[in-house]
Structure 1
């Protein structure tokens, strides 16, 4: 029994819950006080280095989410698994956990190779992926600010393939996609907050992805959103260390022996 059972279908929740979670979680970060003692970049850097206004970022994210919702709804309709009574058969908790882990690994694999290729192919980087890198200093609401083609190839197709390969039901997908959205938003929040569980349990975190967004790090740390496995296996991992700025906040600095 889940909270939405009897009110909203699992397919509708799987389609729209990640969108709601995105704006609630990103909005939480946006409404926080300045927190200058925990920022990876100063507010001045954010104003000077980013080349796209917040209003355009919001419009870009909404467009990507519209495409995601359309494809997700179609995918759920095509793959709904029902028994003769019409109710979807839910697997056991251990099976759902396994499906969750498989989906995480599949999503990481898809996004690593597509993301890396978008950097290596000059045409794709110039005309597609560079839009995401207009946010040199990332913030939460801009986590899904991408060119529409990148949003389709990287995030939407990546999510669909993860769902299909793992074999999860729409109900399990609600939890998986909401978790993936929260992790992605957190990776772009630009804050190194004490006690952040994502920083504790994942090496691929806010500082890790911040390195990738800096000019000297764009050829490294492609992995997203969960693990850094492919970066380490294929030689694109850039280690870093955090230093505290005298004026407040932190800075992720590259280890120069790469």
Structure 2
């Protein structure tokens, strides 16, 4: 009986790890293959930093990402175990709270995470914490989609901390948490994409300016002490932590991308030793 329970736990743990790894590889891998391999010449003008990182930096991002996946899996397994014991706020049927709340809960998760990320991120830029953990993520000065999970193990614990925070405080359906997780991964990958996809005027538009762009987070990786937000540009605007040249930098990339290029682009390989 005990052996069967142990085998069941191992199978469930493997399923969770494969699910996290599979999502990461699908999202990060497909974006990387499209923009950095298959269509890199076609989209070169949309590349925020006009050079590509060396392979060693990409391999480092992937290596740290798989350590992150193991840590994420361990924390999620603890949440699953707590849910089975009735300790979390999970509920079994959408009808228990209705579809309006179901949609609201996903929006609430996103807003809570955006706030959680901004303030934990700023805290990790305190010099002792930066040197201890966050510097690892900032080794990607010219990030690729694989940088989305390239964290020091301690930072990975902080990043996945949003899941138990939600699970123990917000009534949620399991699929709502899944949708939130997919949204989070998608925005994380596109934030580290290294290409700007939004149109000209997006970063200064009276409505759209409240949503972040790839340029916004790319500047954070390159310049460090600015642009701390994740999904939205709310906290950075409220706290005055946007880089003063953010909107200008966005427009420069968007304008460059929009121009028709007849000449073959010169693609540079990154030669920095970060």
TM-score, normalised via structure 2 length: 0.72
Structure-2 residue corresponding to 1:66:
70
Separation of aligned partners in 2, 1:201 and 1:186: 17
User: How far did residue 76 of structure 1 move?
Assistant: 2.1
Asked whether the 8 Å contact 1:138–1:189 carries over to 2, the reply is yes
Question: By percentage of residues, which structure has more helix?
Answer: 2
Structure-1 residue corresponding to 2:46:
38
Separation of aligned partners in 1, 2:176 and 2:112: 16
User: How far did residue 124 of structure 1 move?
Assistant: 1.1
Asked whether the 8 Å contact 2:58–2:144 carries over to 1, the reply is no
Asked whether the 8 Å contact 1:81–1:88 carries over to 2, the reply is no
Separation of aligned partners in 2, 1:16 and 1:99: 26
1:53 to 49, 57, 78: 57
1:94 to 85, 100, 105: 100
Asked whether the 8 Å contact 1:99–1:168 carries over to 2, the reply is yes
Structure-2 residue corresponding to 1:255:
none
Q: List aligned pairs for 1:80-159, cutoff 5 A.
A: 80=84, 88-90=92-94, 91-119=97-125, 121-153=126-158, 155-159=159-163
Asked whether the 8 Å contact 2:209–2:233 carries over to 1, the reply is no
Separation of aligned partners in 2, 1:21 and 1:138: 19
Separation of aligned partners in 1, 2:13 and 2:177: 9
Return 233-242 or 123-132, whichever deviates more: 233-242
Separation of aligned partners in 2, 1:191 and 1:65: 25
Please tell me whether Structure 1 or Structure 2 has the larger radius of gyration of its CA atoms.
Answer: 2
For structure 2, the 5+ residue unaligned runs are: 1-11, 267-274
Separation of aligned partners in 1, 2:176 and 2:14: 13
Corresponding residue SS for 2:151: coil
Corresponding residue SS for 1:113: helix
Corresponding residue SS for 1:152: helix
Separation of aligned partners in 2, 1:77 and 1:24: 27
User: How far did residue 19 of structure 1 move?
Assistant: 3.4
Separation of aligned partners in 1, 2:17 and 2:184: 13
1:26 to 25, 28, 33: 28
Q: List aligned pairs for 1:196-207, cutoff 5 A.
A: 203-207=211-215
Separation of aligned partners in 2, 1:39 and 1:98: 35
User: How far did residue 79 of structure 1 move?
Assistant: 2.1
Q: Tell me: CA distance 1:163–1:227, structure 2 relative to 1, closer, same or farther (3 Å).
A: farther
Separation of aligned partners in 2, 1:11 and 1:175: 20
User: How far did residue 42 of structure 1 move?
Assistant: 2.1
> Residue deviations 1:47-86, cap 9 Å, x none?
3xx9x5322221210111111111112202212498xxxx
Structure-2 residue corresponding to 1:223:
229
What RMSD in Å do the two structures reach over aligned CA positions? Answer: 3.1
Q: Tell me: CA distance 1:109–1:194, structure 2 relative to 1, closer, same or farther (3 Å).
A: closer
Separation of aligned partners in 1, 2:209 and 2:30: 21
Separation of aligned partners in 1, 2:175 and 2:63: 29
